[in-house]
Amino acid sequence: MEVRASAVDGRPVAGISGESIIQQIKASGIEFVVSVPDITTSEGLLRPLAAGTAPKLVRICKEDEGVAICAGLAHTQKRSLLLIQQTGLLDSINAIRGVAVEYSLPICMMVGLLEKEVGIRPRQSKRYGVRIVEPILDAMGIAYEEIEEQSDVAKIGPAIDRAYAQSKPIVMLIGQRPTAS
């Protein structure tokens, strides 16, 4: 496991294993991962998912298209995960509001925080586009989990299960690039 130079509470922050994230996704019953290419998660998550057979990877052109696809899958009792970065989340706010929030659908989103500094909470990021994500989710009443280090990966399965049990959207904020191992 790669150890990053930044620290949380004075301790080094280890990298996140993409393989362990994929294991959590599979264990939670996700059948489809809907995604656009994403710099933050492409090497550690998107590439391994594309090489595998399960869950099925559905490539899309726009993130709001992914919200609609995940909504349709939810209506057919199929579990899905929308894999995007925060720029796409911000671009899709109206679709998320209209589909996931207003219709109380379990749209599960894994959002890579592009250029977020490792070991820095999103709200403290120097990057405006990262810093505003959590306040926007709070304003929309959308639950989220921060996945900043390897120990946080264990939050993924329960978050997905909670979204489906409560029929509500959830966002998992990926705070650093997952490694391919």
Quick check: 5 pLDDT over 50?
A: no
Quick check: 38 pLDDT over 80?
A: no
- Residue pair 82/63 in contact by the 8 Å Cβ criterion: yes
Q: What local confidence, expressed as pLDDT, does residue 3 receive?
A: 40
Name the residue among 77, 82, 75 with its Cα closest to residue 49. 82
Q: What local confidence, expressed as pLDDT, does residue 96 receive?
A: 97
Band (pLDDT 50/70/90 cuts) for residue 41 is confident
Which CATH fold would you assign to the domain 3-174? Answer: Rossmann fold (3.40.50)
Q: What local confidence, expressed as pLDDT, does residue 9 receive?
A: 52
Find the largest Cα–Cα distance for the chain.
46
How many residues comprise the chain? 181
Quick check: 141 pLDDT over 50?
A: yes
Domain residue ranges of the chain, discontinuous segments joined by +: 3-174
User: What's the whole-model pTM score?
Assistant: 0.91
List the alpha helices (DSSP H) in the chain. 18-27, 47-51, 63-75, 86-91, 93-95, 128-131, 133-140, 156-166
